[in-house]
Structure 1
Amino acid sequence: MRLPLRRGGRFVAAALLASLALTGCGSAPEPQAAPAPTTSVPVTKPYDKLRPTEVRIPKIDADSSLISVAVTKDGAIAVPSVEEPMQAAWYRLSPVPGEIGPAILLGHVDGNSQPGIFYKLHELAPGDEIMVDRSDGEELTFVVERSIQVPKDEFPTEAVYGNTDKAQLRLITCGGVFDDAEHSYEDNVVVYANLV
């Protein structure tokens, strides 16, 4: 079932949100990591419009450039390669951070037998800061409002992607127990933050 994603009062490209329930947002911390999902769009395709370029989260010592991602031929949101677990991404069909609405940033919890950029995302608490740089030279600061961990089959689609009347940020990764059969974690961690 395909569900619509929203952006600034408009529906944007449909994506299979159950899959975003980040299929491939990490792999087992074992010698043989689960393979990254194949995608029909280049995950690192250049994006020449206004975009976020870097994310920094001091509390968890996370710092990454941001590549832009869209959707795969199957309708799932593309994610960075599991071979590069320290790379974070911005879902470019969501608002640019600083615009009205929920800007979506994605990152692995682990991959390639090492921690990922959002390995400690679950440690964020209300009041923690997240900094995002943009291609226009703006440096924005967001403050965490709340953090949740939910089973992927209960992913709060509307709360994450629904329209908002202010500039917000959503950081998403995997969490919970790793399911060897599915090569994926059972939960998602979602952090909600507001522009200062």
Structure 2
Amino acid sequence: MGGRNGGYAVAALLAVAGALAVGHGARDREPGVHYRDFGGPRALWHIPDGDALPASPPSRIEIPGIGVDAPVMRVGLNRDGTVGVPPLNRPERTGWYEHGPPPGSRGPSVVLGHYDDLGGPAVFHKLHEIRPGARIKVTRHDRSVAVFRVDAMERVPKWEFPRARVYGKVRYAGLRLITCGGKYDRADRSYSDNLIVYAHLTGADGR
């Protein structure tokens, strides 16, 4: 899978803007203003290679600590080269970037979700409340459940999106969750920042 992951990283570098529209300022909120980043990039330096699972697309994601239990759909690339996101009429869904490894396989798997929509909170509305060590469970099409541990979280301006850190090649089975953060700009109809959660595979259930 090393070659596939490398090509994925190159493609993702061109597609990073896909996370830029995840959120719609329904109530002029500032997601994540009160959270403190934990771990930071240093938390990713010493993650062991560990085991990985055979490739199987995800179907559902659960984050018990923040009340997420949501279906996962595939998203790809838009015509302008940006990463797609779930449609606005499906705010309860998350989107797995299908040109990268599926959750549980070796490499950086990316799942995106809206912070809100015009009707109110969406699936990743409470992502900023996640804590280090929190468990994330991803049910896959082969009926296995990949279990991840949260390592780090950061909120960064969208123009400083850490492409290599999110999409770059890693030897372990990683997971990156992405949504919006920061202030809502009514003129651009977009939030100023991205909130990124990093996790790694610790085991599997149902095998």
TM more than 0.5: yes
The 5-angstrom pairing of residues 169-188 of structure 1 reads: 169-188=175-194
2:7 counterpart residue number? 10
2:37 counterpart residue number? none
2:24 counterpart residue number? 27
Q: How many residues align?
A: 173
- 2:175 and 2:59 map into 1 onto residues whose CA distance is 14
Gap regions ≥5 residues in structure 2: 29-54, 203-207
| Alpha-carbon displacement from aligned partner over 1:104-131 (angstroms, at most 9, x marks no partner) | 0000000132101000111112100100
1:126 counterpart residue number? 132
The 5-angstrom pairing of residues 58-97 of structure 1 reads: 58-97=64-103
| Alpha-carbon displacement from aligned partner over 1:53-96 (angstroms, at most 9, x marks no partner) | 00000011011110001000000111011222111110001101
1:159 aligns with 2:157: no
Residue 93 of structure 1: SS of its match in structure 2? coil
User: CA 1:139/1:113 → structure 2, altered by over 3 Å: closer, same or farther?
Assistant: same
TM-score, length of structure 2 as denominator length: 0.79
1:43 counterpart residue number? none
Q: Quick check: which one's strand share is greater?
A: 1
Compute the displacement of 1:8 (Å).
Answer: 2.1
Q: RMSD of the alignment, in Å? A: 1.9
Structure with greater contact order relative to length (CA < 8 Å, sep ≥ 6): 2
User: CA 1:57/1:14 → structure 2, altered by over 3 Å: closer, same or farther?
Assistant: same
Percent identity of paired positions between Structure 1 and Structure 2 = 40
- 1:18 and 1:57 map into 2 onto residues whose CA distance is 24
1:194 counterpart residue number? 200
Compute the displacement of 1:7 (Å).
Answer: 4.6
Q: Quick check: which one's helix share is greater?
A: 2
Tell me, yes or no, if the aligned pair for 1:83 and 1:112 is still in contact at 8 Å: no
